[in-house]
Structure 1
């Protein structure tokens, strides 16, 4: 959507004219984009949700930009990029000239971003755009409607949280989200309504945001999500030439439970690696005190708990907890394992994007689990098995 929708097709006009000086035209075009998104996504966008959706993915948005946000940075980058050519054409006869409206545009940018230095590379549209985007995101954080809203905004700005939006949507390789899953994942990301208020099957009232389903004691998505994440991890090990199996025998905890997986050959220092994955709810009431301050706090806490449970595993194994959250952030241990596994995937396949593909599959598995959890609170009907391709 972000590559084929209106703004990319309109970039030439934005870069080649002072379109930023015509707010009425810009407003009409922004409304057209919003109407299109509302129709295609089947989501009701409010002012805050539309503002967040228009941010780049790296800052918690959907990457579908507003014309009003892009017009000024596009013009400034284009003007500075063409300045040398303008000088070569006009300087011999007319001296040093500046492109029309350039000074005015720089003044507007400086007033909008006070105490911010101009870009090191003024020809880069991203460097002009980044301070404006961060101002918008900071404004959303400062005006957060609740601690839960703040925790959501912090979590969605993490790199791992937007990976499902970067994946190639292909049914052949299992990375295509069905319409319902995509809509619910988008709603959770931008804070839009997912459903009408209703009573969950556990008896608790569910509000229009649907967050209860993510932490419900009868969550319909928890078990298939856990299985899907572990299957992705195991397949990644196998692709990296490290045979692995799930739920190995002989490594039972005191409570009778087994870890999620183990490599069958040494991983490092002559020892096999044992991993245990978990996905915790970013927005659960018990996690909000941490997640409203630090992204990934809930995942980090879950990883610490996993390490305590496997403290008696022994020195013959390397243990790695793989903690992730429902809104996307990963824990420190998961990031370390990902970096090492991504490096080996690249070495084994020769594809520099192999590690990224692995991370995207984890992200997609989380979104499918979220969708199944939200739909599982409804009174009837949908076969949740179709969400997962297992």
Structure 2
């Protein structure tokens, strides 16, 4: 008690308990000891999962030292976050272990850095505003909750999409079905924001969306965006946006075991499609429908932030306190664009399939 909980020891005399009292004799002391026991159990669970190579949230880190309550002071806010991190990590593992493949795929995509950036966006003009319907659908997708209008479609009449497949209440079929251009909506929305960002990082005249001479550096496929001579040595930055759905039949088994499985598959697919375009650099800006960013996409954002020293410039006019840096600003813009476009397409599809 004296070693582990000096803060509690100092408090006991003021609470009418003797300083050398046994833990079980005072409710506060007993509660503190029990709480720390829970934290140590959570930490052990997290350490075991990390040691076994199990998938965990990207933000989950475990310091070498076991948690010890060492008194009050300036270090306590940091310590409190560490202790909370253990508990959240343990709860996440418990949820993950009891989930089916679709839920696991969703969790592994959501718990990657930046995947939920749109939830931090303050709704205002300048690319950060989501319509109420879009915000509801985005939250439903993140929580794995049924989407109101889609639930009605799945429950009324045949409950089928115009393509003939059964519509589920979570909207997963619509996210995997390209009828009426669902894939195009979200692809173009992300591409628009990416194009705007690159023009603020590189010479605007060098950033091209349709470059008629692309066969000279990308003979097999026309890229979405090209940054000409991006490094000053004659090399071009060739960017292709790709968005996949982790719960689609072709991805769900792998996505339930490996974080960003779908994004990695899209990166490999783009590399095969483009072939060897050296000395130029191909960036497959791969995203998952729940928000997970592929490694090449994250690297591009980091590279752009580094060129700008992670500072805001022209973006200051529409920045808020939640976007103090270049990376946070454009991370939110990209995620808002993705989820707004997905919601637009999903809601439109549900309206089409709603029984008249």
- TM-score normalised by the shorter chain: which range applies? 0.7 to 0.9
Higher mean displacement: 216-225 or 287-296: 216-225
Gaps of 5+ in 1: 1-79, 383-390
Cα deviation for residue 182 of structure 1 reads 0.8
CA distance in 2, matches of 1:156, 1:278: 17
Cα deviation for residue 101 of structure 1 reads 0.9
Match of 2:83, SS state, is helix
Cα deviation for residue 240 of structure 1 reads 1.5
Q: 1:269 to 1:110 in 2, by over 3 A?
A: farther
Aligned twin of 1:318 = 281
Aligned: 1:162 with 2:113: no
CA distance in 2, matches of 1:163, 1:268: 32
User: What is the RMSD of the two structures over their aligned residues, measured on CA atoms?
Assistant: 3.1
Q: 1:347 to 1:140 in 2, by over 3 A?
A: closer
Match of 1:236 among 197, 207, 211: 197
Aligned twin of 1:108 = 35
Aligned twin of 1:118 = 67
Aligned twin of 2:330 = 358
Aligned twin of 1:38 = none
Cα deviation for residue 266 of structure 1 reads 2.7
Q: 1:240 to 1:100 in 2, by over 3 A?
A: farther
CA contact (8 A) 2:42 2:89 kept: no
TM-score by length of 1: 0.67
Cα deviation for residue 373 of structure 1 reads 3.2
CA offset digits 1:53-74 (Å, max 9, x no partner): xxxxxxxxxxxxxxxxxxxxxx
How many residues were matched structurally? Answer: 296
CA contact (8 A) 2:311 2:325 kept: no
Gaps of 5+ in 2: 44-65, 317-323
Match of 2:168 among 191, 207, 213: 207
Match of 1:199, SS state, is coil
Match of 1:322, SS state, is strand
CA contact (8 A) 2:161 2:353 kept: no
Q: 1:202 to 1:340 in 2, by over 3 A?
A: same
Higher mean displacement: 263-272 or 238-247: 263-272
Cα deviation for residue 288 of structure 1 reads 0.8
Aligned twin of 1:61 = none
Cα deviation for residue 379 of structure 1 reads 4.0
Higher relative contact order (CA 8 A, sep 6+): 2
Match of 1:190 among 143, 157, 170: 143
Aligned twin of 1:302 = 266
Q: 1:113 to 1:201 in 2, by over 3 A?
A: farther
TM-score by length of 2: 0.73
CA distance in 2, matches of 1:261, 1:152: 29
Q: 1:310 to 1:331 in 2, by over 3 A?
A: same
